[in-house]
Amino acid sequence: MADGTHGKAPDLEAIETMAVAALEALPEPFRGAARAVALRIADWPEDEMLDELGIESPYELTGLYDGIPLTQKSVMDTPQGPDTVWLFRRPILDEWADRGDVGLGQLVGHVLVHELAHHFGWSDEDIAAIDPWWE
């Protein structure tokens, strides 16, 4: 195959490459600010994440923002670690296969933008301006 996967599902590194490309495609000033958010790619969400969100099936969670939104941060906050966007490869691949109407890179970018929206405190209108697929 031209994408180098030879019929295999894209691995964690391939999903990360797609996510970084989507991040780099963000308009300024968001691109610079988004680079300060840690990006983590995992096959599955951890059980603790699912439990905290009340989600039963790991297939229901394609991404997660872990941090304090910029709109709620205070200089008095004690840092608990870096703000992080998690992308979950297996649920993303499952949604991609089920949909069949969008490229994998587009879906990864959409999930990334949605999670960054939590970090930035974006409204639905803000998200739609950056990610027209949201509309």
4 within some domain: no
pLDDT exceeds cutoff 50 at 114: yes
Smallest CA-to-CA distance from 3 within 109, 104, 110, 92 is with: 104
For residue 71, being part of any structural domain is answered with no
Concatenate the DSSP letters of all residues of 93-110 into one string: HHHHHHH-SS-HHHHHHH
Pair of tokens at residue 92:
């993303």
Please, what is the average pLDDT of the chain? 87
pLDDT exceeds cutoff 50 at 4: no
Residue 16 has pLDDT above 80, yes or no: yes
> Structural domain tally of the chain?
1
> Looking at residue 84, which CATH number applies to its domain?
3.30.2010.20
Give the structural domain span for 95. 12-65+80-134
pLDDT in tens, 85-104: 999 999 999 999 999 889 99
CB 67 within 8 A of CB 84: yes
